[in-house]
Amino acid sequence: MSRTRFPRSATAAIMFVLMAGGAWAQEPSYGPNTYDRTLEALIAHEDIASRGGWPKVPGSVTALKPDSQGPDVAILKQRLMQSGDLSPASLPGEVYDEALVAAVKRFQARHGLSELGTVGRLTLKAMNVPVEVRLNQLTATLERLKGNGFNFAERYVVVNIPGASVEAVENGVVQRKHLAVVGRPDRPSPVLQANITSVNLNPYWTVPMSIVKADIIPHMRKEPDFIAKSNMKLLGAENKEIDPATVKWASLTNPYFYVRQEPGATNSLGQLKIDMPNTEAVYMHDTPKKTLFRNDVRFNSSGCARIEGVRDLAAWLLEGTEWTLPALEAEIAKNERKDIKLKKTVPVAWVYLTGWQGADGLVQFREDIYGLDTPQGIVTSTIQPRKPKPKAAAAEPVVMPAAKVEPRPVPRPAVTATAAN
């Protein structure tokens, strides 16, 4: 497809068509062309900044509902028109009509929020992020993408940490998309590349020593039966079990044992783990706390990625073998440990994308939950954070120029620029 510069009068209509659902809707958020498309988004947002950015939306818009009327509706329409979520051809005025409901939903989809069609607290917060911050997010993402050397194989998996989401990709098409729960800010999930090697059914959970010290010991000081209630065991030399009652928890600082949680539905890993050996000792797994997937903000783990519908993802990884989803379900029901090796390893990338553009033309943004988009979080940046230009004197409406444009050449060094962990 050729890239054409469209006159400004046509750009908003094109953006609206793309957002209504393009032919590339199933292309992954992270692929070989993500860099170039994100650069296009950077150029488009620089244009918005040069025209004064978008207006601040008042908190009173959270009281609006479909069919509401008033000046707040007009402000909301203007904000969404300027970011390309609302077509400039839509009916003007101060009525919260169907077109505005659809525009709010498009905005929410682009920011990883529940598509409700009304403006809640998180949607209002996202709308009022200045365009200069969005420019910095796109710049930071470009830095992290440069020269990363990931193997975009026929089949691969990507975990976008800020998006708290997982995509299973085959032949350049997203076959499965899953919500995820990733590391909280004080225990962040790492940016890494690895290979998925096996699927573990009814796994043990060997508790990392950092969690033993930070969580298990304080719990035992308050609840002496915590180990037993959590279906855990203390194992010492030669895997000999230790009675928790013999441990002096009040003064313990350096445990002489390790803690293992036994298989079962209450295991912190759930009933399935996807193994991907790496130096950070993280992996993807099930969870007994499935209500966490209902939240728009899903940063609750200690670094690993909990996956909604992880059994479906495991079945995809094991396609071509006897291990179909029903077979996995039947084996899990036995409540016995079993490790299943993949016939061929599948590359996996844990990435930190806070701003990017997909092949459908949608520019996506996610919150910089770990604060890595600041200059301190980027290594050897060569793309300078953009500064706003003076506001245009004319009152011409600002619209999102979403057409495919020829990106300006930007140096792309061979050395990987990664986010600081």
Structure confidence at residue 89 as a pLDDT band (50, 70, 90): confident
Helix axes 71-82, 98-110, angle to 10 degrees: 50
- 144-205+264-351: CATH topology is L,D-transpeptidase catalytic domain-like (2.40.440)
CA 266 to chain centre: 26
CA 18 to chain centre: 22
267, two tokens? 């295991």
Closest alpha carbon to 49 in 137, 111, 117, 125? 137
- Look at residue 376 in the predicted model and tell me its pLDDT: 57
Buried b / exposed e over 319-332, threshold 16 CB at 10 Å, is: eeeebeeeebeebb
Maximum alpha-carbon separation in the chain: 78
Decide if pLDDT at 2 tops 70: no
In angstroms, the CA 160 to CA 292 distance is: 17
Residue 95's φ and ψ, nearest 5 degrees, are: -115, 130
Q: Is 45 one of the catalytic residues?
A: no
- Average pLDDT of the segment spanning 214-235: 93
- Look at residue 157 in the predicted model and tell me its pLDDT: 98
CA 54 to chain centre: 25
406, two tokens? 């020829």
DSSP string, 208-241: -HHHIIIIIHHHHHH-TTHHHHTTEEEE-GGG-E
Instruction: Exactly one of 45, 111, 178, 304 is catalytic; name it.
Output: 304
Locus of tokens 């844990």: 350
pTM (whole model) above 0.95: no
Decide if pLDDT at 134 tops 60: yes
Q: Where are the domains of the chain?
A: 8-131+360-377, 144-205+264-351, 207-261
Structure confidence at residue 359 as a pLDDT band (50, 70, 90): confident
Residues 6+ apart with CB under 8 A from 326: none
Establish how many alpha carbons lie within 13 A of residue 345's alpha carbon, considering only the half-sphere containing its beta carbon.
Answer: 12
Provide the residue count of the chain: 421
- Look at residue 377 in the predicted model and tell me its pLDDT: 54
- Average pLDDT of the segment spanning 209-217: 92
Is the torsion defined by CA of 102, 105, 109, 115 positive or negative?
Answer: negative
Structure confidence at residue 399 as a pLDDT band (50, 70, 90): very low
Average predicted confidence (pLDDT) for the chain:
85
Interval 324-347: pLDDT, tens: 999 999 999 999 999 999 999 999
189, two tokens? 């999930």
**In this structure, which amino acid lies at residue 126?**
A
In angstroms, the CA 158 to CA 167 distance is: 5
Q: Is 304 one of the catalytic residues?
A: yes
Gyration radius of the chain's alpha carbons: 24
- Average pLDDT of the segment spanning 185-207: 95
Residue 375's φ and ψ, nearest 5 degrees, are: -55, -30
